[in-house]
Each structure stands twice: as C-alpha cells, then as structure tokens.
Amino acid sequence: MFFKYNYLGLSWALVILVLCGLPGSQFQSAEINGADIVIHTFLFFVLFLLLGTGFIKQGTYPFLRTSTLMKVFVITLLYGIAIELLQGAVFVDRSFELSDVLANSFGSLLGWGGFLLIYGTESYT
C-alpha cells in the first residue's frame, strides 16, 4: 500500500537523481541567469508535494502520518544534500554547489507552503 500512494514521489526522486547525475557537458549553458536555481527549486517543490501527499494517503506506516510535513521536509532536505555530495564526489563533470542545496531547500519550503494552500492545516488522518 505504501508504493501505491508513493510511486509518483519515488519516481520523481529517481528523475531528480538521474538529471543531477548526468555529466555537466550534457547541458547547454543557460542563457538566462539563475535558470539552474529555478530548476532545482521546481524539482524539490514537486518532490515535496508528491511525497507529502503520498505519506498522508498511505496506511502501511502510521508513523509517517504524524508530523508528516516536517518529516517530508527533512527527507527532501537530506536528499538534496546527498545529491549535491554525489555531484561533488561521484558524478562525472559535476560539482557540489551550495547554491543548489539552498535552492533545493527553498523548493521544499515552497512545497510545504503549497501543500498547506492546497490541503489546509486540517488533520490528515
């Protein structure tokens, strides 16, 4: 039941991993300053929304249904840091960038806000 409600969020996390793992030479230089920041923010905004919704809907792990948004924020924050560490240590032609970590975190915060705008602050159980 966990995967029934979380396959979209987990798939999106995999998409993020693949995109961030591609060699830097695969991407053309952006003509718009800050495009990289906007992309990272968007990716983690969507990740937060998908995981937040999936964690609340699933019933397999009841502990994920309490303080869900805080848990999702911590998970997405740690995931964003892990991705950047992998870029600095493992992925070819990639590097760790603090600005990307901050953009990932900001995207997660925006996702939290977006989630509250969509679903409100009512009890989700």
* Residue bearing the bigger pLDDT, 124 or 98: 98
Cβ(73)–Cβ(55) below 8 Å? no
**What are φ and ψ of residue 31, in 5° steps?**
-80, -15
Domain boundaries, the chain: 2-22+35-119
Res. 13: pLDDT tops 60: yes
CA 122 to mean position of chain CA atoms: 23
Cβ contact 48:106 at 8 Å: no
- Residue 121 has a pLDDT of 73
pLDDT at 25 over 80: no
Q: Residue 20 — pLDDT band, cuts 50, 70, 90?
A: confident
Find out whether 37 and 103 touch, Cβ atoms under 8 Å: yes
Measured from the Cβ of residue 22, the count of other Cβ atoms closer than 10 Å reads 13
The mean pLDDT value for 55-75 works out to: 92
Q: What is the pTM of this model?
A: 0.90
Higher pLDDT, 20 or 49: 49
Q: Which of 8-17, 26-35, 94-103 has the highest mean pLDDT?
A: 8-17
- Around 21, how many Cα atoms within 13 Å sit in the side-chain half-sphere? 10
Mean pLDDT over the full length of the chain? 89
